[in-house]
Amino acid sequence: MTSHKARLTWSLVVPVKVLARAKTRMSAAAGPHREALALAVAADTVSAALHCPTVAEVIVVTDDPLPAAELSALGARVVPDVPDRGLNPALVHGADLAARDRPGSGVGALSADLPALRPAELRRVLEAAALTPESFVPDALGVGTTLYTTRPGVPFHPAFGTGSRARHAAQGARELALDGIESVRQDVDTPDDLRAALALGTGPRTTAIAARLPALSPGAGTSPA
């Protein structure tokens, strides 16, 4: 019998801000731990993505040497933000490198702010994304985007920023409205976002830093029920 078509693999591009400018909306809650929190969140996100069976490579775009070193040690490929023109050009830069080196893989832009990310949930999303040329996952608030994907050979046009869910839909990307993918949708920009991620169960780095933040309830859960 003919074997099943090989499962599509993915190159994921993760943008990581210079830590001095990261997680500014967490300043009051995180205080002196803000930069450490930003790094922990990014590291837990990248680590989870690297453990997803359908992810062939994670490309981190950053100009900060500290996350560059830590995320490289986890197994990510780190490249500088050569365009230096903002988020979407940085993502396109990473995607161009991915398409050049792995032309048979799909390309995705993944938020660096998903500390509760589950490899199994990401796998479900990417398997659904493999069935459509261009797709995206909305964030937990239903306004932004946490993941944008294109199949091999499809033009890569990320539209991240305020109101990105509507912009991605308007350009024809398919919204992946799957049940049970909360960890792929729960990004962290505010203390309430972090509490929600902790309730889902964050990775070890975020959990450790969150325990040091007095603004967070000491009773907040960090493990799945």
Of 1.10.10.10, 3.90.550.10, 3.90.600.10, 3.40.50.1110, the CATH number of 10-210 is 3.90.550.10
The domain segmentation of the chain, as residue ranges, is: 10-210
Confidence of residue 215 (pLDDT cuts 50, 70, 90): confident
- Global pTM reads 0.93
First to last CA, the chain: 43
Report whether 145 belongs to an annotated binding site. Answer: yes
- Kind of pairing between the strands at 77-79 and 134-138: unpaired
18 has a pLDDT exceeding 50 = yes
Residue type, 141: L
With a CB cutoff of 8 Å and minimum separation 6, the contacts of 146 are 110, 111, 113, 114, 137, 138, 139, 184, 185, 187
Q: pLDDT (tens digit, 9 = 90+) per residue, 74-98?
A: 999 999 999 999 999 999 999 999 9
- The residue among 54, 61, 96 whose CA lies nearest residue 76 is 61
